[in-house]
Structures are given as structure tokens and as C-alpha cells.
Amino acid sequence: MNTEPIDVHRMFELLVEACPDARQEWDEHCRAYVEEDPCNYIGVAVFARYVVACARLGQLEKARVAFDLVEQFIVRGSPYVRDLATIGFLEDLQTIASWEPFGYAVFVPLLKPHSRRAWDEIEAMWEGKSSLMDVLRVEAEAAKKRRM
């Protein structure tokens, strides 16, 4: 078993392999950023939108592999990959799905232990907040504490 942390390039390779139906949107994202930073937080949103689309089509089992990967990213990823998996994928997923009739709770059964903990932390972070700026203040404070 490879003990090297999963880096961002491997993260996206694994997501593309696991979610082939998201490939077209992923390729469009890559073409849009061909000359600059690939903007990985926007890139991970491609897969969050894919998972929401699976739920919309009643194909949650098809999205299960993305949740299995997110768990791996949290457990075995570099610090940057862990942030992409949580603050990127999971938070995007909650936000995007909150606009859907089924809401984001539909994904809770697909979460593994580490991703469930991150999911709950994200929910707690948004609780009582009325704007993204309120959340960003909380996230900035939490990041400061983690560095200490």
C-alpha cells in the first residue's frame, strides 16, 4: 500500500476515473484554465455538481464512489487535498444541494466517518450565519488556530 499522501494531481485523476460522466465538464474546466492556475476549488466543484446531478436523477449509488474518494482524501491526502475535499467538495455539495428539492441531507448516508465529521463541522460553521462573509470570518479564525 502506498503511504505517500495523495497530492492534488492524483486527487483529480482519481475523481475523473471514478466519475466518468463528469469528464466533459472537467475537460471544459481544464481548457478554461490552460494558461493559468487550474483553480482547484472550482475544479472540485465540477464533481460536487456531478454528485448533485446524480441525486437529481435518482442515481445516488453512482455517486457513492465520490464519497469513498473524499474519505480517502481526508485520511490520506496532503493538507491541501484535505482542504479541497472538505472546504471544497463537501461545502460546495451542501451549498449546491441546498437549492434542490431533496436538499443536502440525502447525502448523509453516503458519508464515511472522517467525511461525516467534516460535514458536521461545515454545518455547524454555517449555523446561524446569514452570509458567506460571516462564514469566511469563522473559517479564517479556525485556520489561524490550526496554525498555532
Q: At 124, is the pLDDT very low, low, confident or very high (cuts 50, 70, 90)?
A: confident
- pLDDT tens digits for 126-143? 787 776 677 778 778 777
What's the CA gap between 5 and 132, in Å, rounded? 31
% of the chain at pLDDT higher than 90: 65
Q: Is 13 helix (H, G, I), strand (E, B) or coil?
A: helix
pLDDT at 12: 94
What's the CA gap between 67 and 121, in Å, rounded? 17
* Residue 20 DSSP code: G
- pLDDT tens digits for 1-20? 567 899 999 999 999 999 99
Grid cell 460546495 is found at 92
What value, to the nearest 5°, has the Cα angle with vertex 119 and ends 121 and 102? 130
* Single pTM value for the model: 0.83
- Higher model confidence: residue 70 or residue 137? 70
Extents of the domains making up the chain:
8-147
Q: Are 97 and 55 in contact (CB under 8 A)?
A: yes
